Amino acid sequence: MNSSRIVAVMALLLILRERTTLGQNTPPSSAQNPTQSASAPVEVYVFGEQPVSTATEQTVRQKDLELRPTATPVDILTSSVPGLYTVQHQGGGKADEYFIRGFDADHGTDFAIFVDGIPVNLPNNAHGQGYADIHWLIPEIVDHIDVTKGPYFVQYGDFATAGAVNIITKRRPADSLASILGGSYSLQRYLTILSPPEGTIFQPYVAFEAYHERGPFKDPLGYNRYNLLTKFTLLATANSNLSFLGTFNHSYWDASGEIPSRLTRNPGRILGHFDSIDPSQGGNTDRNNLNLVYSYTDERQSFNAQAWGFFYSLTQYNNFTFFENDPINGDEIEQRDKRGAGGSYLNYRRKYSRFDMPMETLVGFLSRTDIARVGLFNAVNRRRLSTQQNSQINQTSLAWYAQQELRPTNWFRAQIGTRLDQFYYSVRNLSPDAAIPTSGTAQGFMANPKVNLIFTPFAAGNWYTPPQLYMNFGGGHHSNDARVVVANPDQAPLARALGGELGLRTKLFNRLDLAVNYWYLHLSSELVLDGDTGQFEPAGATRRHGPEVELRYQINDWLTSDLDASYTWGRFVSGRTQGGAIPNAPRALAYGGITARHPSGLEGRLQMRFMGSRYGDEDRVSLLRPWMIFDLLAKYVWERYECNFSITNLANKKWWAGQQFHESQIRNDPRLPTVNETVPVNDIHYTPGGPLTIRAGMTVHFELPKLTRD
């Protein structure tokens, strides 16, 4: 095949979602700027209208979230980000486990999450690198979600290897509301949003949420969550905006923990599906955020400046191996994290023409500093016994990026960029009696290229919109835990990800939105689970690749259907496990449903969630269970009243949510006197997924009096 044919084929296999014309002054994609959308007035786009750079990049609007589960913030992500799945693997109120693009990203190691540009992921967290808990977010104040996949975007750095999302909160809710929700297993949720009318000075609003759930477990979950959020505008002109966001969160819970599957198998079953070995697990957490954002925009340029900070604490008790290490007291561990963090974000974007060619230049700078006390302790019944590790960890990261966009023709657009990241680590041991005393300093640096090529080679036809073809290539990284970096100076502090993809997006017959792509990603160092500590540690290099498809079909004026599906092949390509499977890496994933929005005010959705089987270990000894769950959601809107009803796990299927394959041992346990294992046993340990759960609630909208200046 000659070079001209190769070029034609490549152009045919890539873009679709925007219509780029010569000299067109299109608004910049909010996904390209984690800060800009946080304060600027929101423009409404529909599928296929905003300029994007990959087949999978998109903005999920608030309207798309209305008929999705929203009891918790992770419900928003699971139901709106194609190819993303979340589960709880301890049955408590901590961060969920994220699955995306063949990654078991644990709690966020390879999946970056932002809220109004505030980074959610926590480096060097007591429970895992990149820990991302978004339970402090109230779902009803979400305006839209910017979704990107792959390491092709200059504005995203640490942890954004498989993908990233920026959750944008509403500038001002349309009105005030009060909502109450109740359901199975003593579920209760109360929500109030107070939003004065348009024109009120500072345009403030306040949202408060209280949540309680007992759960289906034999030992009550006792999950309680309290959230308070306020947002208001300090300055607003025709071109500029200065806004402030503040949040408060407190949560606490008990957890039944993981169950070894060998104790629930027939015959001879010892434990029930929702039973527990060590019910003293659980914990509490707090996170309070402050965010100040300034933005200026005119026809040719935009400038954004952001300063953010937060205070965070986590105390968590887990028991992964039961009595393997300590036959008398058991193996419960206390993980403790207390930190303050802050950072800044600056970017400047300018549109102009050179040689009659439309261009756009984007430059930016980011900084972040975390000052944390992180500890790992041996415990029994939440009483501390001894210290494994107790450290003061200071980490600072700086990033610079630049991107040049060129539009030489009306059918081709190119983005060429680079990102530079510099990390500084400092670790100091705080306990002389620590079993693992770690102290020292280290640095890490990485430069990554970013290239996005977007083609629109064909004009619109009678039955299709102009298909857009995408070719993407880029590098990214996730940072490793500072304690591991300092203790292993020969090991790279940053794990590099290099990837690329080909994609296409179009609309057929004025009814079917279609996006397909094939992607590839090489990661220089995978993080794998250490069953003793419950943390992930660096292993060998891995390779992943696979196809993805997104379908949205408008059946009639009030009925639509959707399907997101993907399959991933992955394996280790170096290290002691070369050729082995990547533990817990998802392969087949699917999410879809049918949504009805009838003019009468009655709305409903029947949806399906599916995760296929996957290997639990490198040697492919264990095969983790697949699952398929169906949910039914309904809502009726009449004037200022909304009634909602849902049934999750419609078929009441017994399924395993979080699953891990590792050793454990049960002996001398007064709760299980008939079990006395003489040696550790490798087994699948699981957290049961929720059974059939019914929820019903009501929301009332109302208006507050207008407050204006005299």
- Name the β-bridge partners of 98: 86
pLDDT tens digits, 130-168: 999 999 999 999 998 999 999 999 999 999 999 999 999
Q: What is the pLDDT of residue 405?
A: 97
* 6 within domain boundaries: no
- Mean pLDDT, all residues of the chain: 88
* 298 within domain boundaries: yes
* 1 within domain boundaries: no
Determine the average pLDDT of the residues in 453-481. Answer: 92
Distance CA 399, CA 424 (A): 12
* 40 within domain boundaries: yes
Residue 78 has pLDDT above 90, yes or no: no
pLDDT tens digits, 349-378: 999 999 999 999 999 999 999 999 999 999
Q: What is the pLDDT of residue 708?
A: 59
Residue 42 has pLDDT above 50, yes or no: no
* 362 within domain boundaries: yes
Determine the average pLDDT of the residues in 56-78. Answer: 72
Question: β-strands 163-169, 111-115: how paired?
Answer: parallel
Report how many domains make up the chain.
1
Q: What is the pLDDT of residue 105?
A: 85
DSSP 43: P
Which strand ranges, in their side-by-side order, compose the sheet holding 163-169?
Answer: 58-61, 142-149, 163-169, 111-115, 118-119
Question: β-strands 176-183, 163-169: how paired?
Answer: unpaired
Cβ-proximal residues to 3 (8 Å cutoff; 6+ apart), any chain: none
Residue with tokens 């993809």: 501
DSSP 3-state of 165: strand
The string of DSSP letters for 354-383 reads ETTEEEEEEEEEEEEEEEEEEEEEEEETTE
Question: Residue 56 — pLDDT band, cuts 50, 70, 90?
Answer: confident
How many other CB atoms are found less than 10 A from the CB of residue 264?
17
Structural domain of residue 32, as residue ranges?
12-702
Q: What is the pLDDT of residue 20?
A: 33
Distance CA 449, CA 475 (A): 6
pLDDT tens digits, 242-299: 999 999 999 999 999 999 999 998 888 999 999 999 999 999 999 999 999 999 999 9
Tell me which range, 410-424, 456-470, 484-498, 590-604, is most confidently predicted by mean pLDDT: 410-424
Question: Residue 318 — pLDDT band, cuts 50, 70, 90?
Answer: very high
Q: What is the pLDDT of residue 60?
A: 74
Residue 709 has pLDDT above 70, yes or no: no
More confident residue, 49 or 302: 302
Residue with tokens 């003593």: 186
pLDDT tens digits, 434-466: 999 999 999 999 999 999 999 998 888 888 889
More confident residue, 490 or 66: 490
Cβ-proximal residues to 556 (8 Å cutoff; 6+ apart), any chain: none
Q: What is the pLDDT of residue 89?
A: 74
pLDDT tens digits, 21-30: 323 333 333 3
DSSP 3-state of 40: coil
Largest CA distance in the chain: 82
Distance CA 101, CA 31 (A): 19
* 438 within domain boundaries: yes
Q: What is the pLDDT of residue 58?
A: 78
Determine the average pLDDT of the residues in 630-656. Answer: 95
Domain at 27, CATH number: 2.40.170.20
Residue type, 379: A
337 and 122 Cβ atoms separated by less than 8 Å: yes
* 514 within domain boundaries: yes
Question: β-strands 494-508, 468-479: how paired?
Answer: antiparallel
User: What percentage of the chain reaches a pLDDT higher than 90?
Assistant: 77
Question: Residue 7 — pLDDT band, cuts 50, 70, 90?
Answer: very low
* 155 within domain boundaries: yes
More confident residue, 127 or 707: 127
